[in-house]
Each structure stands twice: as C-alpha cells, then as structure tokens.
Copies of this chain bind each other. A is one copy, B any other.
Amino acid sequence: MTHPDAETALACLRLARTDGIGPVSYRKLIRTHGSVEAALAMLERGATRISRTIGPLCPRDDALRELERLHAMGGTLLTHGQPGYPALLAALPDAPPVLSVLGDATLLCARMVGIVGGRNASSGGLRMAESLAALLAAHGVHTVSGLARGIDGAAHRGAMTAGRTVAAIAGGLDCPYPPEHAALQAEIARTGAVVTEAALGTVPQARHFPRRNRLIAGLGLGCVVVEAALRSGSLITARMALDYGRTLFAVPGSPLDPRCRGSNDLLRQGAVVTETERDILRELPETIEENDLFGAPPRPVRHNAAPSGGQALAPLRPDPAPPPPAQGDLHEMVEGFLSFTPSPVDDLVRRCQFSTAAVLTVLSEMEIAGTIEFLAGDLVVRRPPPA
C-alpha cells in the first residue's frame, strides 16, 4: 500500500469504520482538519473534542485487511472526494464516506432512477416494475433498487438484461440478503454493479436499511414507487429522495388493494403520476450535470407535510388537507427516550410503539444531524451538545 491514493483510501476507511463517526461527523472532521489524514492524526492523538464521543479508532490493519479482501473479490472502494465517487451522492449533506462496489463501479455515475416497492407485491406490480425498468434501460436510464423480494427484484431483472442495474444493499458485499437473492446479486455484480456502505462481513440488520435506502434515494435522479403499503420501507426511501430534492414518481393503484395505499398517498402529496416510462423520462434532466442539485443547500427534513396535490385546472382549494399521522410526535418521543447511556434500538422501538422502520428513520436523521450515534451491539446513544 505505497500508492498515495491507496493510503488516502485507507485513511478514509479507518475513519468510516470507526464507531460513532457518521457521515455528517466524518465530513465535519475533514472540513475542520483539512484532510482525512490530518483528521485521522488528530483523532489518534485524542486531540479533538469528538474523540471523546466515538469508539476506538479502526486499526490500520483492520482497514487494510478489508481493502485487500475487497480487491481480492474484484471489488472497488470509492471514497467521497476521490474520482469515481458518484456526483449525485457527493452532493448530499450526509454523503456516505466510503462505498464498496462489486461490478462496474462507473455505473454509479450513470443517469439512474430508484425503483422501490413492497416485498409482497401483486403480479401487476411486479409486471409494472419489471417493464418500467426494462423500458427505462432501453432509453439509457439505469435502475437502482434494494435487492429485496418483490418490486426490487422485478426492477433489477427488468434492467439487468440491458446491463443497466445497480443493487444497493444493507450488509457487506459478501453477505447477500435475502439469501434467495444471492444468485441475483451475483448476476447483477457480473452485468451491473452492487454497492454498499457496509464493511465486508456485515450481516444486514434492521438498522442498516436506512443507509441502503439513502443510497437508492441518493444515486437516482428520481425515485419511482410501485406498490407501497402505508408505513412501508419504500416510503422512507421516497421521503429521503424528496429531502434530497429528487423527483418522486408513484404508480397509481386500486384503493381496494392495501399494497397501494402508500404509493397512492404519495400521489396525494404531489408525486408524478406514473403509468409508463414516458412519465419518468419526461421529468428527468438530460444529464446528471443539468440537474440543479449541486450547490443547493441541503433541504430540511420536513415532518407533517400537508398533503394536497394542487388542482392544476381548478381554483386552489382553500383548506389544505389535515396532516398525516404525526411523524413529528415520533421524533419527540424518540428524543424523550434517548439518553447519554447507550440503549438498545429494539427497546426504543418497543417503547415508541411505532414501526421499526419509522423509528430507524428518525434515528437515522438524528445521526445525520449529529445528535446521536449508533454503537456496536445495536445500541444508540445521545451525543453531548456542542459546548
């Protein structure tokens, strides 16, 4: 490892693999100290305030071993700020510090949309996802999805024959999930790309999924939701995409099918009605550079958005619809339950009586905001406020 870029990559990896350093604090560290090497040196000397709130630094040998194993698999490490790192992700306030990629890492920089949806999808939903992905691919637009059962798998399959799909996963590249998609993951690695923020050997757990969702939301110029139930994980990805300023698309479905309630609700909130690939192509910028996401200040995460699709042809309706079930309340609830003593995430979920996904999203936002950190062993802890 004598090449200077390799040394930088190693330094990035050591920071990124240190417990308690999230994407936002990673970025802060580098900004404060000027370079990743300088930040690392300061942390090694314990000479920065953050060093009191983080776990022990990831040893150089551990990082080196991960990098060597990754290369041995034929994988690539992309680090934020280095060439090859996708521009759309780099623009995020919480851009992942490092990405591990199997397959063609340049695909991450392609014109791409996320396609997400429920696991127990209807046959119609599966057909929609597969055909949308295939027709987008025919127009040169790639599909990123989360390798889950149902809509995700169908979307990957639709785009894969054209070699235009990227699977974003929650665990390590060597830990395919769900197990029955191991072959699909291998096929995507061969024809497209598989990407994760997680270290090799990471068995995916619930808390890893918000990061996978962020990859889908962040890599795409837009996010297409096909069949999502209320409170489903796809809606979290959709909200992230909106927060990143990406265009949100939703496929309409019968109100009689609960699998469509969440996606229909996105239409209510103003998502683009999507029946064919043309509805998507029409809204996408011609090139990634053309979109206005770069340099835009991060948009605040909004809770309790008033859902009300404006009537284009009718006068504006005077009364906005009442807000959906308060996610803001959950935020407060989570805040209330958290303390400076590490507590298990599961415990928090149980106490909040909300879905795991909802609680994890709130936690993920708090991590991004720098108010909490995840610790090993599924623990979460409040970080001391800046003095």
Contact = CB atoms under 8 A, between A and B. Distances in A.
B312 A270 contact: yes
B242 A314 contact: yes
Interface in A289-311: 292, 302, 305-311
B310 A270 contact: yes
Contacts of A261: 275
Given A254-B253, A322-B282, A312 B317 contact: no
B312 A309 contact: yes
Interface stretch (A52-60, A201-209, A244-252): A244-252
A140 interface: no
Nearest to A274: B255
Given A246-B314, A313-B302, A252 B267 contact: yes
B313 A310 contact: no
B311 A272 contact: yes
- Main SS of the interface on chain A? loop
A124 B272 CA distance: 24
A385 interface: no
Number of identical protomers: 2
B255 A251 contact: yes
A260 B269 contact: no
Contact of A313 (B270, B279, B283): B270
A191 to B, nearest CB: 27
Given A255-B275, A314-B248, A321 B128 contact: no
Contacts of A149: none
A150 to B, nearest CB: 16
B314 A270 contact: yes
A166 interface: no
Interface of A: 124, 127-128, 242, 245-248, 251-256, 260-261, 264-265, 267-276, 279, 282-283, 292, 302, 305-315, 317-319, 321-322
